[in-house]
């Protein structure tokens, strides 16, 4: 077997395992070393993966990077401090748009990689819910991210964030794994994938955030579609597992407390997170929005100011750093990347909508875990499409 084929066979495994498990801290302290190491790994994997270069993605790559550099030069007169660490995120996103993932379809290794990653997500998630010491201590040691109290607070609330740190990012990836498992069940008719989807659905509920509520509603829609498509008999494995689960829950104080703590009205109306928290009059994004509205053609590039806020919205962050041009080329490039790599147009549109909805509240496209896990998701979706056509 040619070396390239062997390499392509195991690259998806590297993508998903590194994407889920690479550490972000040591001894509970975030490490810049890990940050730059993972970007070096992403660049190396992208360099090896097959590519397709055409006019649009080449223009987006050049224009996007030039826009950030030129904006930085002009903005440096007003904002003398820099945040060059953000540049690899944008560079690798534009580089991802060159990938030709249709050429990767490696059968058994891909299936094993997908199941393994699903069970890792479930293991970490349910480990947090039951407060397993090994899981909790591992996360507090190796997976602290963002500000100091974020992950400890998530764990104290028993939110199954796994290695993803925040409840919003965890909800997105849990939903994507749920979607992939449901889609696999529909195509391959193996009950294990339906059971996996049900377990992930429980984790999604226990996240208890605006994002998880949104994706829970979408997930219910997917289950209803499955019921209409496959019939009631398809749900017998879930009914069996569900019956056992209900018995376990009714006899377990931890899960009773978890269900009791789910207050949808409070979650949706809270001004501390979600849409209300991001776009209300008390939002930390307000100074950033004001700056953009007052200076629409003065993006800050890679400069930084303590008066502005740099998270909680992809649309706003990209506009802040590269004017309205940057989000346009990022989202155009992302859609064309999906359209060129996915073999099913309905799947392309669905995935695009899911990610864009998330971008309203967080710039996930430049997240390092996303840059590793998402190409795997594309490869796996194409595997399912090829399997369905055989």
pLDDT tens, residue by residue, 192-201: 998 899 899 9
Pairing of strands 25-26, 303-304: unpaired
What's the average model confidence in pLDDT over 9-34? 88
Q: At what angle do helices 32-48 and 3-21 cross, to 10 degrees?
A: 150
Look at residue 282 and tell me whether its pLDDT is greater than 90: no
Mean pLDDT, the chain, rounded, equals 85
pTM of the complete model beyond 0.75: yes
As a whole-number percent, the residues of the chain with pLDDT over 70 amount to: 84
CB 334 within 8 A of CB 355: yes
Q: Model confidence over 222-246: pLDDT tens digits? A: 888 877 766 656 666 666 666 665 5
Domain range annotation of the chain? 3-389
What's the average model confidence in pLDDT over 133-148? 90
Alpha carbon distances (Å) from 313 to 23, 86, 106: 24, 15, 36
Look at residue 68 and tell me whether its pLDDT is greater than 70: yes
What's the average model confidence in pLDDT over 15-28? 91
Look at residue 255 and tell me whether its pLDDT is greater than 70: no
Query: Cα–Cα distance between 347 and 382 in angstroms, integer?
Result: 10
Higher-confidence residue of 11 and 61: namely 61
pLDDT band at 73 (very low <50, low <70, confident <90, very high): very high
CB 161 within 8 A of CB 121: no
Higher-confidence residue of 114 and 13: namely 114
Q: What does the block give as tokens for 328?
A: 């346009």
pLDDT at residue 251 in the model: 59
Query: Cα–Cα distance between 48 and 99 in angstroms, integer?
Result: 10
pLDDT at residue 275 in the model: 57
Q: E strand or H helix at 303, and its extent?
A: strand 303-304
Q: Model confidence over 81-137: pLDDT tens digits? A: 888 788 999 999 999 999 999 888 767 889 999 999 999 999 999 999 989 999 999
Look at residue 1 and tell me whether its pLDDT is greater than 60: no
């Amino acid at each position: 077997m040619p070396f390239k084929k062997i390499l392509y066979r195991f690259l998806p495994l590297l993508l998903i395992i590194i994407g889920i498990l690479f550490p972000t801290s040591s001894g509970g302290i975030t490490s810049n070393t890990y940050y730059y190491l993972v970007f070096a790994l992403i660049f190396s994997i992208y360099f090896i993966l097959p590519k397709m270069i055409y006019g649009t993605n080449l223009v987006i790559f050049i224009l996007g990077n030039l826009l950030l550099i030129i904006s930085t030069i002009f903005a440096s007169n007003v904002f003398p401090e820099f945040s060059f660490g953000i540049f690899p995120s944008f560079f690798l996103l534009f580089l991802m748009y060159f990938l030709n993932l249709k050429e990767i379809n490696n059968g058994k290794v891909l299936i094993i990689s997908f199941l393994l990653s699903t069970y890792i997500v479930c293991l970490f998630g349910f480990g947090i819910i039951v407060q397993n010491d090994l899981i909790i201590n591992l996360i507090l040691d190796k997976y602290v991210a963002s500000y100091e109290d974020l992950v400890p607070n998530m764990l104290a609330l028993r939110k199954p964030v796994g290695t993803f740190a925040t409840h919003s990012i965890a909800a997105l990836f849990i939903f994507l794994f749920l979607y992939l498992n449901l889609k696999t069940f529909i195509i391959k008719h193996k009950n294990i994938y339906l059971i996996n989807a049900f377990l992930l659905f429980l984790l999604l509920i226990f996240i208890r955030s605006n994002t998880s509520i949104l994706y829970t509603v979408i997930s219910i829609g997917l289950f209803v579609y499955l019921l209409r498509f496959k019939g009631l008999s398809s749900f017998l494995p879930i009914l069996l597992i569900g019956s056992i689960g209900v018995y376990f829950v009714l006899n377990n104080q931890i899960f009773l407390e978890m269900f009791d703590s789910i207050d949808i009205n409070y979650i949706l109306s809270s001004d501390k997170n979600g849409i209300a928290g991001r776009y209300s009059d008390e939002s930390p994004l307000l100074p950033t929005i004001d700056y953009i509205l007052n200076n629409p053609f003065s993006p800050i590039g890679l400069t930084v100011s303590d008066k502005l806020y740099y998270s909680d919205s992809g649309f706003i962050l990209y506009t802040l750093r590269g004017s309205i041009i940057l989000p346009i080329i990022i989202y155009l490039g992302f859609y064309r990347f999906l359209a060129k790599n996915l073999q099913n147009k309905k799947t392309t549109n669905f995935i695009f909508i899911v990610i864009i909805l998330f971008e309203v509240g967080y710039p996930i496209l430049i997240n390092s875990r996303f840059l590793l896990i998402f190409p795997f998701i594309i490869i796996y979706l194409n595997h399912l499409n090829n399997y369905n056509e055989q």
